Structure 1
Amino acid sequence: MGKYASHEEFGINAPINYREDTTSESFLKGMSAVCPQGMKPKVSRGKKFEEKTDFKASARWHKNFDVAMFGGSDIGTSDYESRQMSLEGKINGIKRIPGRH
């Protein structure tokens, strides 16, 4: 069984978890695991990674997932950022399922 009970629960939780989980620390930890011995990733790349995973990026990620899996049924293709904000605003009625933290 999946982590989320419904697509609405996915739409409310997953983009928030995406933003919380995509930190410079997680990027640097992952890159350190795959870089050649004796080398380490640049801290500046971790900061750039985190900057590019803000609200706009998570809303775009959710929109693309929604289009691919459901034909754009949940937040549509136009004005998806404001639709994502309204979807996340419903969180009071939906159980918050934290990410990997």
Structure 2
Amino acid sequence: MGKYANHEEFGANAPVNYREDSTSESFLKGMSAITPPGMKPKQSRGRKFEEKTDFKASASWHHNFDVAMFGGSDLGTSDFENRQMTIEKGSGGVKRISGRK
């Protein structure tokens, strides 16, 4: 069984964890592991990565994953950010699971 049983559980946890875990430090650490010896990734690329994983990006990512896994929801509407924020606040008593394992 997957980590999230339904859309509400997924929506209340995964996008928040995605934003929290998608930092310039995590990007640079991952890139450092694959760079050739004697080289290191540019700090500016880490900052750009973090900028592109903000709330709007995670809401869009959430919508695409939701369509693939749960058949879609109403997050694709023009006010998807408000709907995403409502889900993330744990509407319906969904428990927040912080961080990835």
Query: 5 Å matches for 1:1-101?
Result: 1-73=1-73, 75-79=74-78, 80-90=80-90, 93-100=93-100
Q: What is the CA–CA distance in structure 1 between the aligned matches of 2:64 and 2:3, rounded to whole Å? A: 19
The unaligned stretches of length 5 or more in structure 1 are none
For 1:98 and 1:76, locate their aligned partners in 2 and report how far apart those are by CA, in whole Å: 22
Query: What's the TM-score, normalizing by structure 1?
Result: 0.87
State, as a whole percentage, how many aligned pairs show the same letter.
73
Deviations 1:15-54 (A, max 9, x none): 0000000000000000001111111000111011111101
**Alpha-carbon distance in structure 2 between the residues aligned to 1:77 and 1:91:** 18
Number of residue-to-residue matches in the alignment: 100
Give ranges in structure 2 of 5+ residues lacking alignment.
Answer: none
Code of the residue aligned with 2:42 in structure 1: it is: K
Does the 8 Å CA contact 1:60/1:81 hold for their aligned counterparts? no
Once the two structures are TM-superposed, the CA of residue 92 in structure 1 deviates from its matched residue by 7.8
